Amino acid sequence: MEKSNADISTLRREYAVGGLDRDALAADPLEQFKHWLEQAIAQYADEATAMTLATANKEGMPAARIVLLKRYDAEGFTWFTDYRSEKGQNLAENAQAELLFYWPGLERQVRIRGRVQKVERALSEQYFNERPLGSRLSAAISCQSSPVDSRQTLETAVANLQQSLDEQAVACPPTWGGYLLKPERYEFWQGRPSRLHDRFIYQATAEGWQITRLQP
């Protein structure tokens, strides 16, 4: 039996894992993120790097989807995709985005906002060549987000490509590669009892990162 809206509204979760104090925060948001990510990986490695990527087109219509973080450093946060996808089209029109990490077991969220650019071609090719063969074949035959008449069409295209090429010949398509988000704002959120959550933002300024506590 399906739940009614009234039934759904009664669902509750209490947050009680821990708190987040200003004195405990790293001065550099990248160091704070690294610390939290390492804790998330230790708890559930398979999903710790999953993140929601939110984009918007030139009209401001938002779109969000889950992608995987593949690298991060002082330059920013990188993921890989088909440039012809909806997210690729959005970023071509509006090169701004936000990333959201949610680690429910730790009752934590991290939001990272900034401008986005394509990574260097050599990095895209390097990562592509490190992927499993099946993933490379799929990327080579798929025009992500475009309509297709059936799954069989996709599977046949993969099989035909695999038969015509040896493993080393699956080249990185020019329409596939990485994006780099250069952070301008971070938010670290820690769930707390009675919804009195801890929230801190790091905002980039000319003097460095400014840290501010937000009301929940």
Looking at the annotation, which residues are catalytic? 195
Helix ranges (DSSP H) in 3-150: 5-9, 29-43, 86-93, 121-130, 133-141
What residues form the annotated binding site for FMN? 65-70, 80-81, 87, 109, 144-145, 189, 199
Number of C-beta neighbours around residue 103 at 10 A: 19
Question: CB–CB of 99/181 below 8 Å?
Answer: yes
- Of 179, 148, 154, nearest to 67 by C-alpha is 179
Residue in the block written with tokens 């799954």:
151
- Residues in a beta bridge with 213: 200
The pair of three-digit structure tokens given for residue 194, joined into one six-digit string:
């009675």
Number of C-beta neighbours around residue 207 at 10 A: 6
Question: CB–CB of 188/31 below 8 Å?
Answer: no
What residues form the annotated binding site? 12-15, 65-70, 80-81, 87, 109, 127, 131, 135, 144-145, 189, 195-197, 199
Query: Alpha-carbon dihedral of residues 17, 20, 23, 25, nearest 10 degrees?
Result: 110
What residues form the annotated binding site for substrate? 12-15, 70, 127, 131, 135, 195-197
Could you give the C-alpha distances from 186 to 30, 113, 134, 183, in angstroms and in order?
9, 6, 35, 7
